Structure 1
Amino acid sequence: MSEQNRKLTWKNIALTGFVMVWGFGNVVNNFANQGLTVVFSWIFMVACYFVPYALMVGELGSSFSDGKGGVSTWIRSTTTPMLAFMAGWTYWVVHIPYLAQKPQAILIALSWVVNPSGELAEVIKALNPLILQSMVLAVFFVFLYVSTKGVKILKVIGSVAGTSMFIMSILYIVLGVSAPAITGRPVATPNITFGSFIPKFDFAYLTTLSMLVFALGGCEKISPYVNETKDPSKNFPKGMLILAGMVAICALLGSIAMGMMFDSNNIPKDLMMNGQYYAFQLLGEYYGLGKSLVVVYAFANTATQVSALVFSIDAPLRVLLGDADSKFIPHKLSKTNKNGVFVNGYIMTSVLVGTLIIVPALGIGNTTDLFNWLLKLNSVVMPMRYLWVFLAYMGLKKSIDKFGSDYKFIKNPKIGFMVGLWCFAFTAFACIMGMFPSDIPAFTSEWIFLVGMNVATPLVLMGIGLILPYIAKTSNVDINKKAS
């Protein structure tokens, strides 16, 4: 691309990346995990993990600017086709826990729209987990059907609602931090000192790292913009550093605002489940706005969650099957109907998601624990796709002479490889530690059940990906023989 056709500035990169990466839920969920000690965690994570992650993505995007497969293209170019298939499979399969959790979030958001006082949310919280998950499964099947119709308006609504949620998140930080000075409300967390922000580096703390990694992941979505940036070697890293600063400021101020509204020493157990709505409910009370803020936020969140669910059912499946390699994907999975829907792919999705919706309800005692577990399972499984980014970067640095780019994060191949290895190892460590629940007594029956599910879920999901090439080897050969 010629320099005159490059229109993006560092400001565009920073703002686009911020909308892609950040959300108010990141603040609430990690405060629920760590309290005010999350302030230290955010500083460490942004400086030592997020900044190198984002800049690696920039170099990869610039080096493989003609590739259309994203991470899969990077892996194919730096390693082997089989690993590229596994990268594509991972990108799809990590959405299974995400799809299992989204209908829960839709029901909860809707309850706050209908009843902003929170009584309906309390009813949902009191439901038997099996009853709730049956409702969740019904919601999932409704939107699975909707996604087969390609209802694009939902995605448009979701985009608008997502922008509204972004604005509401910034509004919360501004109003939340200012509340004690403007309204005279006392700070909920008593006796805040410097030590209040420093975590205790024990086993329980290490189990919370995966949620931080989950919050800061997804930078690879920015990679297509590297080669559309004016003077990318200068403006792209500048934009990424500004993005990191914006994330850090929002994370720190948002966490402090949460500490002003909720006692960091006595965090409500359902804060992950309802904390976003509690926060806007309190803001409305502080500023004499009644229930208006929580209704607006809940409505925007409902639309965003619905759009995300529909989009995440269809889009990752198209990435996986749209240009399927017959060496790795059974032909039957690529079968489409008259609407271009991958019928058997949808069936595979529904079986995996349905299993993950119902089975946990058999061993988890209440809906709050169930919601928290599914959210934490996402923080274990979703970052698995980030591992491929770091593997691709290590491969790039080992073969640096084969590839050229307008932008290089680290010019020294050995140092670049070590930085990629650090991010890979830290992500893997965080995912493994996230498998152990810290809010349930160890080695109780429920603890053992949850650890078993946390270990089994990624193993089964990745195992299916390893089995598919062997199925394809047999089934696709038979199909080719019949065709000839």
Structure 2
Amino acid sequence: MTKATKKVTLFGLILMIFTSVFGFGNAPVAFYRMGYGAIIWYILAALFFFIPYALMMAEYGSTFKHESGGMYTWMEKSVGPKYAFIGTFMWYTSYIIWMVNVSTKVFITLSTTYSGSDHTNYWSLFGLDSTQTIGLLAILFIIVVTFFAARGLDKITKITSVGGIAVTFLNVVLIVVSLIILVFNKGQVAQPIEGMKSFIDSPNPGFNSPLAIISFLVFAIFAYGGLEAVGGLVDKTENAEKNFPKGVILSAIIISIGYALTILLWGVSTNWNSVLSGDNVNLGNITYVLMNNLGFELGRAINLSTDTALAIGHAFARFTGLSMFLAYLGAFFTLIYSPLKTIIEGTPKGLWPEKMVRENDKGMPAFAMWIQCVIVVLILALVSFGGKDAQSFYNVLTLMVNVSMTIPYLFLTGAFPAFKQKSDINHSINIFKTKTQYMVSTIVVMSVIGFANIFTIIEPLFRKGGPVWGDTLWQIAGPVLFSLIALLLFNRYERRKKD
């Protein structure tokens, strides 16, 4: 007699969703961009994106639980192979942009671990400026990681768990230390709360226009990323039809409260104008700047000397830098081959040139990995040698990641009505029971993602100092170019099938 598989309880489901979605680094970015004003956008993103989108992924996951191919299969069986391939290819290429971004941030973690603060603004090799130097180092980093990963040396991914635990512990540090500072400062917060105005307006002068404020929504959506994995939890959940929607809704409430709380807590130790308004702060180092300041303010609150308070700040920053370095490095060694293997193995073989499909003796698609490496190197070279300062450089990279990571959500959501209308599919769980429910949910989610991306892309054209065409073009270039590549690959596949 086979032992029955133990099902996940409602509490276990909430815990799994929370750990998959909640990210420590999202609140520092939110506080830097919008101050307390970020909270409302995180709540709106939970209501109009997180909940309906997660429930859609749950229906996909339960229906296609025995199918291989993941999101490609979901879209292929709902709409068709061309739509599915373009959507899946856009999902894969979002990881290319992620690699471009993280390969530069790795050096901020190293600088912070060594010095106690980010000194990459002052780095220079061969007479290059700091942005070009970081770009060159990032290029070397991606080449070295590809070299070792292609040889199957992926055991380094085990350090991800160490880094992940350390990063999770940072949440505890933030809460405990902020409460200590609050008590010793007799309830006085560093970033004043002046009624509802503080929760609407941003202290960041770059986020005072309505367009800029609305464009922040893409950051809020990005903070709830990783929901595709939730689809695989449905059939492991106890009384899934009842508990899964309940678990998703409760998770959304808990995660949005978690983000709101951490954003508020950053205001306990950090005054935006005093700490974050300088040119040395950017989207690449914001987490370390805030952690350094948290340690410093702890020392000041308990009446330690300035030198001791500075030392505590540097210790906090070093621990954060090391934690993030381990997490980044482990993730990099996984994501440099995992999405690539997923898209190659999960789509029809004839779509890919033979060399791309071929694996080496270590089971790695080495040729495809080196093609991927060349693409990342080219993007890094173009962005880092484009004449931008560090602030603009990390701003562009972050926006590129946010836009590219959220575009696949449009494809998955757009396929949902067709999926629901397929009578030949066994819909094992029906969370959206009527056409009105799933159509309204689809329109809401697609509108939120679409508007967030449009406003993010066009916002640089309406900045006070004049339009910044480069920022807009970089955000458009990736999706447009990768869509064309996907179309060319699929059209080639269709022609070969006819021959």
The TM-score normalised by the length of structure 1 is 0.90
Deviation at 1:259, TM superposition (A): 2.2
Tell me, in whole angstroms, the C-alpha distance in 2 between the residues paired with 1:283 and 1:113.
Answer: 16
Query: Kindly tell me: are residues 27 and 75 of structure 1, through their superposed partners in 2, closer, same or farther at Cα, counting changes over 3 Å?
Result: same
Q: Contact 1:381 / 1:431 at 8 angstroms: preserved in 2?
A: no
Tell me, in whole angstroms, the C-alpha distance in 2 between the residues paired with 1:146 and 1:412.
Answer: 51
Tell me, in whole angstroms, the C-alpha distance in 1 between the residues paired with 2:423 and 2:185.
Answer: 58
Q: 2:490 aligns with which of 451, 455, 469?
A: 469
Query: Kindly tell me: are residues 401 and 259 of structure 1, through their superposed partners in 2, closer, same or farther at Cα, counting changes over 3 Å?
Result: farther
Q: What residue is the counterpart of 2:137 in the other structure?
A: 135
Q: What residue is the counterpart of 1:301 in the other structure?
A: 324
Q: Contact 2:118 / 2:288 at 8 angstroms: preserved in 1?
A: no
Query: Kindly tell me: are residues 152 and 348 of structure 1, through their superposed partners in 2, closer, same or farther at Cα, counting changes over 3 Å?
Result: closer
Q: What residue is the counterpart of 1:42 in the other structure?
A: 42
1:338 pairs with 2:361: yes
Aligned residues: 474
Question: What does 1:129-168 align with in structure 2 at a 5 Å threshold?
Answer: 129-168=131-170
Task: Please tell me the residue identity of whatever aligns with 2:31.
Answer: F
Q: What residue is the counterpart of 1:275 in the other structure?
A: 286
1:368 pairs with 2:391: yes
Tell me, in whole angstroms, the C-alpha distance in 2 between the residues paired with 1:476 and 1:150.
Answer: 34
Deviation at 1:197, TM superposition (A): 0.4
Q: What residue is the counterpart of 1:100 in the other structure?
A: 100
Cα-to-partner distance string for 1:102-153 (whole Å, 9 max, x where unaligned): 111110011111111x263442499432222111111111111121122333
Query: Kindly tell me: are residues 208 and 299 of structure 1, through their superposed partners in 2, closer, same or farther at Cα, counting changes over 3 Å?
Result: same
Q: Contact 2:149 / 2:333 at 8 angstroms: preserved in 1?
A: yes
Cα-to-partner distance string for 1:231-288 (whole Å, 9 max, x where unaligned): 1112222221221122112110111112233334674352422221122222222334
Deviation at 1:418, TM superposition (A): 2.1
Identify which range, 185-194 or 17-26, moves more after superposition. Answer: 185-194
Tell me, in whole angstroms, the C-alpha distance in 1 between the residues paired with 2:423 and 2:498.
Answer: 38
Q: 2:271 aligns with which of 244, 248, 263?
A: 263
Tell me, in whole angstroms, the C-alpha distance in 1 between the residues paired with 2:442 and 2:240.
Answer: 21
Cα-to-partner distance string for 1:71-127 (whole Å, 9 max, x where unaligned): 1121112111222222321221111110101111110011111111x2634424994
Identify which range, 41-50 or 334-343, moves more after superposition. Answer: 334-343
Q: What residue is the counterpart of 1:120 in the other structure?
A: 119
Query: Kindly tell me: are residues 278 and 184 of structure 1, through their superposed partners in 2, closer, same or farther at Cα, counting changes over 3 Å?
Result: farther
Question: What does 1:192-203 align with in structure 2 at a 5 Å threshold?
Answer: 192-199=194-201, 202-203=210-211
Query: Kindly tell me: are residues 392 and 58 of structure 1, through their superposed partners in 2, closer, same or farther at Cα, counting changes over 3 Å?
Result: same
Question: What does 1:198-237 align with in structure 2 at a 5 Å threshold?
Answer: 198-199=200-201, 202-237=210-245
Tell me, in whole angstroms, the C-alpha distance in 1 between the residues paired with 2:496 and 2:379.
Answer: 28
The TM-score normalised by the length of structure 2 is 0.88
Q: Contact 1:35 / 1:265 at 8 angstroms: preserved in 2?
A: no
1:353 pairs with 2:376: yes
1:396 pairs with 2:407: no
Q: Contact 1:397 / 1:414 at 8 angstroms: preserved in 2?
A: no
Query: Kindly tell me: are residues 439 and 275 of structure 1, through their superposed partners in 2, closer, same or farther at Cα, counting changes over 3 Å?
Result: farther
Tell me, in whole angstroms, the C-alpha distance in 2 between the residues paired with 1:252 and 1:366.
Answer: 31
Task: Please tell me the residue identity of whatever aligns with 1:422.
Answer: V
CA RMSD of aligned residues (A): 2.6
Q: What residue is the counterpart of 1:382 in the other structure?
A: 405
Q: What residue is the counterpart of 2:181 in the other structure?
A: 179
Task: Please tell me the residue identity of whatever aligns with 1:259.
Answer: G
Identify which range, 306-315 or 387-396, moves more after superposition. Answer: 387-396
Q: Identity, % of aligned pairs?
A: 22
Deviation at 1:201, TM superposition (A): 7.3
Task: Please tell me the residue identity of whatever aligns with 1:256.
Answer: L
Structure 2 unpaired stretches of 5+: 202-207, 300-308
Q: What residue is the counterpart of 1:10 in the other structure?
A: 10
Q: What residue is the counterpart of 2:64 in the other structure?
A: 64
Tell me, in whole angstroms, the C-alpha distance in 2 between the residues paired with 1:157 and 1:70.
Answer: 26
Identify which range, 255-264 or 57-66, moves more after superposition. Answer: 255-264
Task: Please tell me the residue identity of whatever aligns with 1:129.
Answer: T
Query: Kindly tell me: are residues 432 and 170 of structure 1, through their superposed partners in 2, closer, same or farther at Cα, counting changes over 3 Å?
Result: farther
Query: Kindly tell me: are residues 367 and 468 of structure 1, through their superposed partners in 2, closer, same or farther at Cα, counting changes over 3 Å?
Result: same
